[in-house]
Amino acid sequence: MHGGKTSQPSQRPIAPEKSLRPFVAASTNRGLLLLNTRSGVIRTSGTGTYEGCQFSPSGEYLWACRRPSKTEATLELRTTSTLEVIACHTFPDPTGYQVIVPLGARWPVYDETLRRTWVGAETQFLRDAADAGVALLGVCFGGQLLAQAFGGSVARAGVPEIGWYDVETDNPDLVPGGPWFQWHFDRWTLPPGATEIARTANASQAFVLGRALALQFHPEIDLKLLDIWLDEDRDDDVVGAGLSHDELRDRTTELADDVAKRIRDLVRGFLTQVAR
């Protein structure tokens, strides 16, 4: 769900390994591969429920990125009926995909127990994908995983970020600035050779390394997805940040149209500047 949501294992017991298996949502025709490890259930439009999968922007659709030509980039919304959902300990051949998108999770990427199991397996999978030239777009936990996989570090942040934060950007055509939604307790240091693109006062928010773009914030958030996360806020993270659920809902509704435009700009920038 949220990258590093529980950054100290003592705060939430780690579930048995069986419940921590990575889930893969794979589109057809050598398209988009989304990886997610959240343990809840998201209801998907017209196709029942899928355990462990997070789709965007509302939990009912996924981003499917298609580039018909070298100069044109489009963002398609495809229903989840185009997906095969797989629970697995091993990952597929990354060369079967044009883009791989590691998404959020509630566990820290640096937990040693998890690094010996699925976090380690997913890390190697992303390294293999990069070696094969597959484009990568990491979101929150997924962005932290990219940082750790390629020689950076991830650790507990001095200040957690929950809610809407203004993000300063050096390249608005790639990562538009403005308020983006955050829910994380950890932050990364840049891998060698990476270029930081965006930041808040508290943490790096985006970097590019080869054909990989890492994001700390959650561009996929909307009111439906936020409600799912708030229902799972068992540790009262929002209250601990000095906010209320209603405040987050109101701000998310207020920003919905603006965020929708910036999401499309972000995906277009990823396709034309990073995944080209």
Mind listing the pLDDT tens digit for each residue in 95-124?
888 888 888 888 899 988 888 888 888 899
Among the ranges given (43-47, 88-92, 149-153, 215-219), the one the predictor scored with the smallest mean pLDDT: 43-47
Q: How far apart are the first and last CA of the chain?
A: 29
Res 78: pLDDT? 36
Alpha helices, H only, the chain: 112-115, 118-131, 141-149, 223-231, 237-240, 245-269
Res 16: pLDDT? 29
Percent of the chain with pLDDT over 70: 67
pLDDT digits (tens, 9 = 90+) for 147-179: 999 999 999 999 999 999 999 999 999 999 999
Cα 50 to the center of its chain, rounded Å: 18
Res 17: pLDDT? 30
Query: Do the Cβ atoms of 236 and 161 come closer than 8 Å?
Result: no
Q: Confidence band (pLDDT; 50, 70, 90) for 91?
A: confident
Percent of the chain with pLDDT over 90: 49
pTM of the model: 0.77
- Give the position of tokens 């780690």: 14
Homologous superfamily of domain range 9-274: Class I glutamine amidotransferase (GATase) domain (3.40.50.880)
- Give the position of tokens 């600035």: 177
Report the amino acid identity of residue 231: D
- Whose CA is closest to 104, among 223, 9, 221, 190? 221
Res 74: pLDDT? 33
